[in-house]
Amino acid sequence: MFRQYLCEICGHIYDEALGAPQEGIAPGTRWEDVPDSWVCPDCGVTKSDFGLCES
């Protein structure tokens, strides 16, 4: 099951099912496999500012 992670600064959602293909992160990429250098495409904060979406 794919999970979603929410940027707590701006509200952007990283969806594991969708990945971030424009930034070289393939659909299906798990959160833990997203590189630590990746930043929020909407506000520029790092992975540590994201939290798991409870659903």
Partner 1 sequence: MSAAVATPVVTPVVTPVVIVGTGLAGYNLAREFRKLDSDTPLLLISADDGRSYSKPMLSTGFGKHKDADGLSMAEPGAMAEQLKAEIYTHTRITGIDPGHKRLWIGEEPVAYRDLVLAWGAEPIRVPVAGDAQDAILPINDLEDYARFRAAAAGKKRVLLLGAGLIGCEFANDLSLGGYQVELVAPCEQVMPGLLHPAAAAAVQAGLESLGARFHLGPVLASLNRTGAGLQGRLSDGTPIACDLVLSAVGLRPRTELAAAAGLQVNRGIMVDRELRSSHANIYALGDCAEVDGLNLQYVMPLMHCARALAQTLAGKPSAVSYGPMPVTVKTPVCPLVVSPPPRDRPGEWTVEGSGSDIRALCRDVAGSLLGYALTGTAVQEKLALNKQLPALLA
Binding site for partner 1 (CB under 8 A): 8-12, 22-23, 39, 41-45
Residue with tokens 């495409």: 41
Residue 1 or 36 with smaller CB distance to partner 1? 36
- Tell the smallest beta-carbon distance from residue 43 to partner 1 (Å): 4
Question: What is the number of H-type helices and E-type strands within the chain?
Answer: 0, 3
Between CA 47 and CA 55 the distance in angstroms is 20
- Tell the smallest beta-carbon distance from residue 1 to partner 1 (Å): 25
- Tell the smallest beta-carbon distance from residue 32 to partner 1 (Å): 20
3-state secondary structure of 22: helix
